[in-house]
Chains A and B, each alone.
Chain A
Amino acid sequence: MATRAEPRQATVISDRSFSFLANARKEAEQRGLFDVPIVDCDCHVYETTATREIARYIENPAVRRPFERYSEAMIMHAMMPGNLGDRNVAGRIKTDLDAHLPTGKYNGVHPIASGLLHSMDQMAIDYAILFPTPMLTLGTHPQPEVEVELARAYNRWLIEQVLVASPRIRTLAYLPLSDPDASVAFVEEFADRPGVLGFMVTAVRYQPIHQNRFMKVFAALNEGGLPLAFHSGPNWSDRPFEQLNRFISAHALGFPFYAMVQLTNVVINGLPERFPRIRFIFMEAGQAWVPFLIARLDNEYRQRSSEAPLLKRLPSDYIRQMFFTTQPFEHLRSAEHTRTVLEMMDGRHSLLYSSDYPHQDFDLPSQIWDLPFLTGDEKRDILGGNAMRLFGLPAPARTPSSQ
């Protein structure tokens, strides 16, 4: 009779504590993703954790003083436009950002950079393009000078304190579109700074970007052949969303809503015809809205082309020349339907992988790698190739941790 093997003793962790991204590394290793160049085109810093540092870069003393004196909570309350909504579903979702920072691996660099490099290493990301978090609401600040002052200070701080840590960390510098003259000055000041790949405008704003006063900004970007990204967001307090009673609703509709408003104005007013060297990017609104907008605009344009007299082609022809970040990647119930969405927006060429880490709906690179209908080359393009060509990034040096 066979004797039963002696059981082994498992290691037991009574409090179920964990390393937040350990599983991300396992997922990447299983797929061999450390051998694939990956550019994360949208990840975030919580810049309000560094308000004292950023304060030193604020020129206007009236704007600077609260940042020198107030707590982070007070600054969020008093200085930033509201961004209502419980991202973490009453604590079900964790954003355990700081608990597992590496010890010693990135000595001497800013803690925000070391935390970011650690998370990039866990997710097999070679380059990360960094954006702020609370400041994404600044486009709605009633004082344009506050947007300008904070944006300038944030850009300078990011470049000098964070990007300097590694050529793996880049940014699209914040452009305070509320003030067109200041925006032009920003293009002059920041376009050639190390780590800056282009510019970003927050999509939640209410200045019609087609007005003549903004053309000097687009002309400056066009002259440099610079990428311009519209980073979307929700605004539950905005009038169309007031009738929605759940954050899931405001969040699901808000991101594509503001992206659609900005993209529609860009296309219908012929900005790609006027400024053909600008590479437009629309960020953090998923993908499914793009075929929807293509259908709507093409159909209307066939009926009312005299309302868009600068266009020489169908709206979809312009849209298919633009770029879109992947997160949150929307898996339809049928992979065939997802494939159709990507085909309609020329996803192989237009999609740029983005994690949105550390926000609550972040995507690992596996979200793209596991798509059953993409070829290996198509996966590599979306995960990194498209971004490396768009931004002129060199092939990544493999990091020690990835080998």
Chain B
Amino acid sequence: MADQGVEYRICPLNQLPEGGGVLAVAGEVEVGVFRVRGRVHAYENRCRHQGGPVCTGEILGRYEQVLNPDGTVIGERFNPDQLRIACPWHGWEYDLETGRCTADPGYRLRRFPVEVRDGDVFIRV
């Protein structure tokens, strides 16, 4: 991890639920810390739309439509392998592994470096 900023201990890794996370107040900054497929990601709790508390939102698999080769719709389903977080203010969705807005990937959540040491999760802000 780049040795810049202030390091904060969040919690033991085993207290971060897979496919979920916690909200942490690290100094002046609110950060969402999430565990997805074994990796930990940390984002500022500030939506790129209007600054909403994005990291407090619902985490859901990507909602996708399944088509037949002829273009007809078979049905719709949640894809648990592509987790998204939805900002509770207006519903902008972000890929939980990249922080990119799924509808308009030019928007991306501010990301913080994460390190797991001795079973604990640390971020640097």
A residues near B (Cβ < 8 Å) are 4-5, 7-14, 16-18, 20, 22-24, 26-27, 88-89, 91-94, 96, 360-364, 366-367
Verify B11–A92 contact, CB threshold 8 A: no
Picked from B8, B32, B52, B57, the residue with its CB within 8 Å of the CB of A8 is: B8
Which A residues are in CB contact (< 8 Å) with B88? 18, 20, 92-94, 96
Q: What residue of chain A has the Cβ atom nearest to residue B3's Cβ? A: A4
Picked from B24, B46, B47, B50, the residue with its CB within 8 Å of the CB of A10 is: B24
In terms of DSSP, what is the predominant structure of the interface of chain A?
loop
Verify A91–B50 contact, CB threshold 8 A: no
User: What's the least CB distance linking A4 to chain B, in Å?
Assistant: 8
On whether A8 and B9 interact (CB within 8 A), knowing A18-B56, A92-B58, A92-B93, the answer reads yes
A360 to B11, CA, bound (A): 34
On whether A12 and B10 interact (CB within 8 A), knowing A23-B46, A92-B93, A362-B89, the answer reads yes
Which A residues are in CB contact (< 8 Å) with B52? 23
Cβ contacts A to B, 12 pairs, < 8 Å = A8-B6, A8-B27, A10-B10, A10-B31, A14-B22, A16-B32, A16-B55, A20-B88, A23-B46, A27-B51, A364-B50, A364-B51
**Chain B: number of interface residues, binned into ranges:** 35 or more
Which B residues are in CB contact (< 8 Å) with A20? 53, 88
Verify A93–B90 contact, CB threshold 8 A: yes
* Given A94-B88, A364-B50, 17 other A-B residues pairs in contact with their CB atoms under 8 A: A5-B7, A7-B122, A8-B6, A10-B8, A10-B9, A10-B10, A13-B22, A16-B21, A20-B88, A23-B46, A89-B91, A93-B89, A93-B90, A360-B90, A360-B91, A366-B50, A367-B50
Task: Scan B66-78; emit 1 where CB is below 8 A from any A CB, else 0.
Answer: 0000000000000
B86, CB-defined interface residue at 8 Å: yes
Which B residues are in CB contact (< 8 Å) with A362? 89-90
User: What's the least CB distance linking B25 to chain A, in Å?
Assistant: 4
Picked from B3, B8, B51, B56, the residue with its CB within 8 Å of the CB of A9 is: B8
A7 to B93, CA, bound (A): 32
